[in-house]
């Protein structure tokens, strides 16, 4: 293994603890650097481009939450490990705050921690990420931090710079493959891989979300029909004989698409051309999106359900009107927000929320899905409370089309054994 691939930057005002974390990191295959100064920390961050960060919340000059906010402003993509001697509720609140700011959290470790506990977390996170931790091909911070322009997006669409990856979903009960979620990525020749959080909002505001959404739908349906539905070993099985047991393809739907009068006809035509039953498609819509234009949302979503498509309310539990939207709109699936799922191993409150959402969904006749599953204990808990589906890095990271199909075949063979 190339140790330089994994770089751990440590910020802790206790030099002994910083050194301890450094030693543990080095024993786990990380190159490490430690500092007690936020100023030195941010300078090293820009110059060194770490893949991981270990951050103490309680510091005299600049507290950990302030550091997290600044990391978000810098669009930091490193995996962050939060450590502190504060209570578990404060730690979980800091984690949720970091996630809300778009940061990637590897874990939360209360102080005092054991070397074995920290080593296990670092090893698991490193091994589960694989190629996802490859260094940024354009490490210059000035190149990474940029605002996407309408002209850039228009050019990217013309040059076909967008690509799709697919994240598998499995059944919690027996880990059988249930389907995939299609996710878009922008591979910009000048900027490298641009995260969706940067370009999707721009596409929505400048009127380009419609052509981008249609590109995603067209390309993902073609892949699903050509590779997944056409693969006998993935479909021609007695346990998938009924329609409700067929593999599904989930696609995120922007609120802006709800005002597209021709959207339903376009999707239906794509399914017909690919000989895909509409029931196999699941459109995921956040409750926030559904609230932007409630009348249009109700009209279009009702028509989608009438055509046979499935609908999922995404990020459930994070908005102020979740319950209202769940009852008001014709959803067929409720998706537990990953912030609850990822904190489940350490938080009884998060586990209670997950259980409540699953029970609520089932009481309304909805399928339930948990995203952000990263450890076996969480998957076991989801199985215990009878959550239907799960997705996350424990199962698989999002994969390019050919790798996703290969993963599905390997998983099926393993599942049969």
Band of the pLDDT at 138, cuts 50, 70, 90?
very low
Quote the pLDDT of residue 54.
92
The pLDDT of 294-323, averaged and rounded, is 76
CATH of 146-416, one of 3.10.180.10, 3.40.50.2000, 3.40.50.12240, 3.20.20.450: 3.20.20.450
Distance between CA atoms of 6 and 296, rounded to whole angstroms?
47
The mean per-residue pLDDT over the stretch 224-232 comes to 84
pLDDT band at 196; cut points 50, 70, 90: confident
What is the DSSP code (8-state) at residue 77?
-
CA distances, 210 to each of 213, 231, 313 (Å): 5, 31, 20
Q: What is the mean pLDDT of residues 361-386?
A: 94
CB 335 within 8 A of CB 316: yes
pLDDT at 135 over 80: no
Q: What is the mean pLDDT of residues 74-93?
A: 82
- What number does CATH give the domain 3-133? 3.40.50.2300
pTM, full prediction: 0.69
Of residues 141 and 165, more confidence is placed in: 165
Share of the chain above pLDDT 90, in %: 41
Are 398 and 193 in contact, with CB atoms under 8 Å apart? no
Neighbours of 173 (CB within 10 A): 12
- Token pair for 372: 């952000």
What average pLDDT does this structure show over 266-295? 82
> Within its chain, how far is the Cα of 287 from the centroid?
17
> Cα(1)–Cα(104) distance, rounded to whole angstroms?
23
Domain spans of the chain, in order of start: 3-133, 146-416
pLDDT band for 344, please (50, 70, 90 cuts): confident
- Among 113-117, 141-145, 333-337, the range with the most confident prediction by mean pLDDT is 333-337
Residue 319 has pLDDT above 60, yes or no: no
């Amino acid at each position: 293994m190339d140790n330089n691939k994994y770089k751990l930057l440590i910020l802790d005002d206790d030099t002994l603890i910083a050194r301890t974390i450094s030693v543990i990191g080095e024993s786990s295959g990380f190159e490490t650097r430690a500092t007690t100064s936020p100023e030195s920390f941010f300078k090293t961050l820009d110059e060194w481009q770490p893949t991981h960060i270990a951050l103490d919340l309680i510091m005299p000059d600049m507290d950990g939450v302030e550091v997290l906010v600044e990391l978000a402003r810098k669009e930091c993509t490193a995996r962050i490990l939060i450590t502190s001697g504060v209570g578990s509720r404060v730690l979980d609140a800091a984690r949720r705050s970091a996630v809300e700011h778009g940061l990637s959290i590897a874990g939360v470790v209360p102080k005092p921690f054991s070397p074995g506990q920290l080593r296990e977390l670092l090893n698991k996170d490193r091994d589960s990420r694989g190629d996802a931790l490859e260094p940024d091909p354009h490490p210059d911070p000035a190149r990474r931090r940029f605002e996407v322009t309408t002209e850039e997006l228009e050019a990217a669409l013309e040059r076909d710079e967008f690509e799709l990856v697919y994240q598998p979903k499995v059944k919690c009960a027996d880990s059988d493959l249930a389907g995939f979620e299609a996710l878009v990525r922008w591979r910009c020749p000048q900027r490298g891989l641009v995260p969706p959080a940067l370009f999707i909002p721009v596409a929505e505001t400048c009127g380009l979300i419609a052509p981008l959404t249609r590109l995603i739908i067209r390309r993902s349906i073609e892949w699903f029909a050509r590779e997944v539905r056409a693969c006998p070993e993935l479909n021609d099985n007695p346990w998938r004989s009924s329609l409700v047991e067929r593999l599904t393809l989930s696609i995120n739907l922007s609120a802006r698409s709800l005002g597209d009068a021709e959207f339903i006809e376009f999707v239906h035509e794509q399914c017909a051309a690919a000989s895909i039953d509409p029931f196999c498609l699941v459109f995921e819509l956040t409750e926030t999106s559904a609230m932007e234009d409630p009348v249009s949302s109700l009209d279009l979503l009702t028509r989608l359900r009438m055509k046979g498509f499935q609908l999922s309310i995404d990020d459930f539990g994070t908005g102020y009107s979740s319950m209202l939207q769940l009852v008001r709109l014709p959803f067929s699936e409720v998706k537990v927000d990953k912030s609850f799922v990822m904190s489940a191993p350490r938080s009884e409150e998060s586990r209670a929320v997950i259980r409540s959402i699953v029970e609520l969904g089932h009481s309304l006749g909805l399928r339930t899905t948990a995203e952000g599953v990263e450890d076996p204990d969480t998957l076991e808990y989801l199985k215990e409370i009878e959550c239907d589906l799960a997705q996350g890095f424990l199962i698989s990271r999002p994969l390019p089309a050919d790798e996703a199909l290969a993963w599905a075949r390997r998983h099926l063979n393993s599942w049969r054994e």
